[in-house]
Structure 1
């Protein structure tokens, strides 16, 4: 791709972007306010974006709050991740019908829609890249994921706000989008003006950008956008030393801290449901009462459930201690052994949406500080 000079668009240019994507046949999905949270869903215009809203997050706590400006992306992340669309919570794989002629098995067709994701954060770009490794690059290709992933158009947003549970700087995954996007926006509100610095990451992004009303970015624009990212990087809500966490956890599998966290953990699985990289599933079959139709579906599962590790004779991980240790050591350590990368992107969702506020960064710190110096 030929590198293009960054440009600047107004809110009218952003509206034109959504219109252009829709005109090209994309299903446009982005952040919107619903049920007292910022979630991802279909959006028709920038009026659907969370204008003037932010989120206050801490361990076990999430609240929306009003900003003192009209920022469209002035929040961190909500309970949803883009995994919801690329790796759906429930997916019917096939169904079979029985009639007088016999049994007919009908595979589930691939989706015929192309997604355009609006407002993807840097940590989420890394999460999508991690799921690409799992579903596309690990030797076994998941055709259902591939059908949704191919052709997706990604509009990233560089973070102007760090949530109270964010630690992407520690994981080298943000707050600036560096790769994996077609277009990247930095929202700038200054002196009554509402502008977005736009950087293209692909030829497809350049082609879309050429159709939008824009102007070339000035030195002042570039400096203002850089200041937004620098301010966010300096205000992380959490931190976690991650360069040695693989070895740290694997040499502490019998640490007493696992018992302490198990005493608090409800094994509800919230952390795995909101995590943008967790990918565990189970397969279910169901039939109608007449026995004329049966279907097989795949749905999200969690290593926190008793049934997930069940084999003949019982569950391999029957205690809360074993299940929490499995999740945390896989996420931060053995994921490297499987996929060559961490399974954590520092988004902080597992901390925010844990009902009892268990903090993965605090658990790592406690184990590290217990070792002899």
Structure 2
């Protein structure tokens, strides 16, 4: 985005200007979804007031471990990502599709179509913004359009926040983005301390975002503020040590469907589905039909499902993927191989959630690397860099 007179970056003074932006979006009629502290984690849900935003937290993430702690310097966006993503806002874990009632001997069915205010996503990270683009392909691409997703997506405002301290499990740079969003947002915020002053550099990405910032009477960012933003992003990028070798990866995985590493990971995997629940791009669902005892009222509900569940692939004659090995292989190859066949992109955004929230700490980056090493030892050449 060019930093011309119509797209100037601005400096926001600490919490007072951040509050002003938050409340100006609310006054415009938007329902804000963003991070908050709850149940010893940073969760992503609808917020009622500015004070709901988390302040002064950072976290430690390791395979199978997530811990929040007080930050040495108090920031709003010092953490990386919690267990929830924006997926829960646009594609809720459970929602009613329709209900039916028996009236005078006949059934009348009513679709669940509630009028809702437009939504603003506040403080999302580059990885979740990338996930939003992938969900768009799933729910608004080709010939199948999810009406509920499209209603919430229409008019959506996105306020992203650059990562200050990516976790030990982040590998967004391997997936071609981060730690600062470069497009797809209305406003991007980079938080920093300048001479002990708490500030944000706010970059508008759209005319709509620019109008919100202009309404706050902010000062235009100078070279010092630009340098502060560059420093935050550079240090964040340097903190990202975890990598995923992606060159030739889709072909490599599809050529190694019988690799012994699938058996090795299956011995550790609990097939619990945690990885799919926290993943910002997993979209599998099933439906539940509910009836009352008198047979006069029925409801159909959509809810998240997981390819790790035995029944998910059940068809006439049995389950297509009866083993943990086959289900883990399906999940990993979809994210890193066949997603390319469907959507011409990665199904993984490098957020590291599946590693942190796996009860036994399975790390997909290490599984791929182990597969590569044993393949090279067996065949003596490198198909994956």
Quick check: TM above 0.5? Answer: yes
Structure 2 Cα separation of the partners of residues 243 and 194 of structure 1: 40
1:6 matched residue in structure 2: 9
Q: Distance in 2 between matches of 1:314 and 1:137?
A: 31
Report the Cα offset of residue 100 of structure 1: 2.2
Residue 268 of structure 2: which of 240, 259, 264 is its match? Answer: 264
Alignment partner for residue 95 of structure 2, among 82, 91, 96?
Answer: 91
Q: Would you say 1:19 and 2:23 are equivalent positions? A: yes
- Take 1:81 and 1:340, find their aligned partners in 2: how far apart are those partners? 22
How far 1:313 moved relative to its partner?
1.4
Determine whether 1:57 maps to 2:67: no
Does residue 312 of structure 2 align to residue 308 of structure 1?
yes
Q: Distance in 2 between matches of 1:232 and 1:337?
A: 32
**Per-residue deviation, residues 6-57 of structure 1 (Å, max 9, x unmatched):** 1101121110111111111111121111000000123344422221101100
Contact 1:27–1:115 (CA under 8 A) maintained in structure 2: yes
Aligned pairs, how many? Answer: 373
User: TM-score with structure 1 length normalisation?
Assistant: 0.98
> How far is 1:137 from its partner?
1.7
Give the structure 1 partner of residue 153 of structure 2.
Answer: 149
Contact (CA 8 Å) 2:94, 2:302: kept in 1 or not? Answer: yes
Q: Which of 208, 211, 236 is the equivalent residue of 1:207?
A: 211
Q: Which moved more, 1:319-328 or 1:130-139?
A: 130-139
Q: CA deviation at 1:323?
A: 0.3
The 2-side partners of 1:312 and 1:267 are apart by 22
Q: Aligned Cα RMSD in Å?
A: 1.3
CA distance in 1, matches of 2:296, 2:302: 21
Alignment of 1:166-177 (within 5 A): 166-177=170-181
Rounded Cα–Cα distance in structure 2 between residues aligned with 1:213 and 1:44: 24
2:70 pairs with 1:66: yes
Once structures 1 and 2 are overlaid, which stretch shifts more, 109-118 or 66-75? Answer: 109-118
Alignment of 1:1-373 (within 5 A): 3-10=6-13, 11-100=15-104, 102-371=106-375, 372-373=380-381
CA distance in 2, matches of 1:227, 1:214: 22
Structure 1: stretches of 5+ with no match in the other structure: none
CA contact (8 A) 2:97 2:300 kept: yes
Give the structure-2-normalised TM-score: 0.95
CA contact (8 A) 2:23 2:50 kept: no
Moved beyond 4 Å, runs of 4+:
none
Q: Secondary structure of 1:234's partner? A: helix
Q: Deviations over 1:300-332 (max 9, x none)?
A: 000000110001111110000000000000010
The 2-side partners of 1:207 and 1:101 are apart by: 56
Larger displacement relative to structure 2 (211-220 or 355-364): 211-220
Q: Deviations over 1:231-258 (max 9, x none)?
A: 1111114111112210111111000000
**2:45, 2:89 within 8 Å by CA — same for their partners in 1?**
no
Asked whether the 8 Å contact 1:173–1:346 carries over to 2, the reply is: no
Partner Cα distance (1:75, 1:285) in 2: 40
SS at match of 2:172: coil
Q: Distance in 1 between matches of 2:132 and 2:362?
A: 25
> Is the contact made by 1:111 and 1:147 (CA closer than 8 Å) also made in structure 2?
no
- Structure 1 contact 55–75 (Cα < 8 Å) conserved: yes
Displacement of 1:110: 4.2
